[in-house]
Amino acid sequence: MATKAATAALEQSDQAPPRRRTSTRTLAVFGALLLLLTAVALSLAIGSRSRSLATVVHALLHDNGSTASSVVWDVRVPRTLAGIAAGAALGVAGALIQALTRNPLADPGLLGINAGAATGVVLSLTVLGLTSMWASVWFAMARAVVAGLLAYSLASGGRGGATPERLALGGAVIAAVFTGISQTLMLLDAQALDQLRFWSVGSLARADSETLTTITPFVVVGLVLALALVRPLNALALGDDTARALGAHLDRTRFLGLLTVTLLCGAATSAVGPLVFVGLAVPHMARMIAGADQRWTLPLSIA
């Protein structure tokens, strides 16, 4: 009940009347979904050999083993869905990081989680020789968890607990360490460097149906956790003292937020590489449309 007051305060800060503001936000959500469907259609139709939309629709409805059907179902559909999952994960992770740290320039790499996930993929390939995407995903998740826990441990030491400033500083240290490890391992293994060259800058080339089925549970759990945190995040936006007065549990909120970011970034990075700027730009675009209320910012960041 207390955190509802925080949401009400954010609503009152909007300039437009409540009903008009809600209508605008609803239209924005539908507009974002329409743009997403358009991007999906283009992704399925355009590639090294473009297909007409009629051919794509026929291939989707009739999986008859033809070349067009195989290209659409075996290559383009998994890559498109993996890209959607990764984009939603990184967008929501960025919104969470910016809300937790109250830093509009923060992104998921701030806590070193992307760097940790990338190190897991590099380790699985260079040290253990595991080339399957299944192994890459699980090693990325493990290293992302380690990076997140290390960042949180560094930030929570001393008085005051894991404040936004300490989270940012601790994450910067962890990111630098894991990035150095990844680059060193890749430079020492020319074969691994060749295999991970495109992935390291962000690519859907390695994404397939196995990748999609592996990362989907982590992304779904992360998105559900993120949506469950909207009210305490609204309270947190008013400052630590005000949030405590409204009944928000700051340490629990930050820990669950960090866990959520770890799940989302670990899954996305393992699938498409350590993409940058997605988690930074998407929340800003969502706030331009919906304002500061996390009840609308997070769903728009997904879309």
Residues 259, 149: Cα–Cα separation, whole Å: 9
Cβ-defined contacts of 66-74 (< 8 Å, 24+): 71/47, 72/44, 74/208, 74/209
Q: Bigger pLDDT: 251 or 65?
A: 251
Dihedral sign from CA coordinates of 204, 209, 215, 216: positive
* H-only helix segments in 127-229: 133-156, 164-188, 190-196, 209-228
Nearest to 6 by CA among 291, 286, 237, 289: 237
Tell me the per-residue pLDDT of 216-275, one tens digit each, with 9 for 90 and over.
Answer: 988 999 999 999 998 888 888 888 788 887 777 888 888 888 888 888 888 888 888 887
Supply φ then ψ for residue 128, to 5 degrees: -100, -10
Q: How confident is the model over 17-42, as pLDDT tens digits?
A: 556 566 777 787 788 888 889 988 88
CA distances from 255 to 95, 123, 156, 161 (A): 15, 27, 10, 11
Rg over alpha carbons for the chain, rounded to the nearest Å, is: 20
Contact by Cβ (8 Å): 59, 49: no
pTM, to two decimals:
0.81
Amino acid at 104: P
